[in-house]
Amino acid sequence: MAAGTAWRLGGGATAGSTRATREPLWVRLLLIGFTVAFLGGLLVLPLVVVLSQAFSEGVRTWVASVVDPEARAAIALTLKTAAIVVPLNAAFGMAAAWALGKFRPRGRELWITLVDLPFSVSPVVAGLLFVLLFGRNGWLGPWLAERDIQIIFAVPGIVIATLFITAPFVARELLPIMEAQGTDEEEAARLMGASGWTIFWRVTLPNVKWGLLYGLVLCNARAMGEFGAVSVVSGHIRGLTNTLPLEVEVRYGEYQATAAFALASLLSALALVTLVVKTVLERRLEARTE
């Protein structure tokens, strides 16, 4: 680890490159050309297709597809889900980052792995977990049915599946920041008599606010865009349990491609806004750590 730090201090970035460490011009141009074509084809082209298909029948059709009752219900459900999921996972993320970043509890590596776990579970398997737990034939199915509580094929199931999928986002961003900042400032505040809450609000939170925002933005993007897990638990009831990505699927499947792409263009706009905010926040985070 010490060697790595020494390298970092001694090594220059691109700015320090000399003729000896640079490739011939034709190689550079070839590699740049490849990169532009590869990233352009894989990342930019799909985006262009979404926009061109969404508006292929004019602005009026686009507006009509976006404001029809089912689309509005899907947008409302997507917003509602994110409004429940993001604050809960933010609170979880802050607690986890505080406990595992500021302290070294026994089994810390294991706890961090568990926090990250939902990232490595297939979304469909995530949905399946909750069907097996709350579904008609699930562990709690009979108990829930007796009390007339429906979770699967209803909004609560969508919320829970999204909670699972997006749980690591805030924790994962905050943990390294809290760890790097250590506990000096908190200890100083403690010595001056500040209470735990005061320390959190006045010392820790201002220090991690950009990281927190970064995590929130990513968490929100995934919560609004999640497809696989939600698809398994939703039941696809139009106007009731279809989120925006599910409504895109339904319309596409019904050969209403233009309407599907109109809704997809809304989600693309969300993705682009997320990218812009993310890029701005990354600059801020870098400025802070330098």
Partner 1 sequence: MRRRHNAVPGFALTFGATMLYLSLVVLIPLAAMLLRAASTGPHELFSAIANRRALAAFGLSFGGALLAAAIAAVGGSIAAWVLVRYDFPGRKLFDALVDLPFAMPTAVSGIALATLLAPQGWVGRALLPLGWKLAYTRGGVIVAMVLVSLPFIIRTLQPALADLPLDVEEAAATLGSGRLRTVATIVAPQLLPALGSGFALAFARAVGEYGSVIFIAGNLPGKTEIVPLLIVVELEQYDYAAATALGAAMLAASFAVLLCIHLLPRWMSRRRLAQAGG
Binding of partner 1 by 145 (CB under 8 A):
no
Cβ-based nearer residue to partner 1, 73 or 227: 227
Site size with partner 1, rule: CB under 8 A: 115
Instruction: Determine if 151 is a binding residue for partner 1 (CB under 8 A).
Output: no
Q: Does 285 bind partner 1 (CB under 8 A)?
A: no
Site string for partner 1, 173-212 (x = CB under 8 A): ----------x--xx--xx---xx--xx------------
**Nearest distance, CB of residue 14 and partner 1, angstroms:** 6
Of residues 57-116, those binding partner 1 (CB under 8 A): 91-92, 94-96, 98-100, 102-109, 111, 113-116
As measured in angstroms, the least distance from the Cβ of 240 to partner 1 is 18
| Residue among 157, 211, 227, 262 that touches partner 1 (CB under 8 A) | 227
> CB 239 → partner 1: shortest distance, Å?
18
Residue whose entry in the numeric block shows the structure tokens 């039941």:
235
**Is residue 245 close enough to count as binding partner 1 by CB under 8 A?**
yes
Give the residue, chosen from 2, 42, 59, 192, that forms a contact with partner 1 under the rule CB under 8 A.
Answer: 42
Residue 254 makes contact with partner 1 by CB under 8 A: no
By CB under 8 A, tell whether 287 contacts partner 1.
no
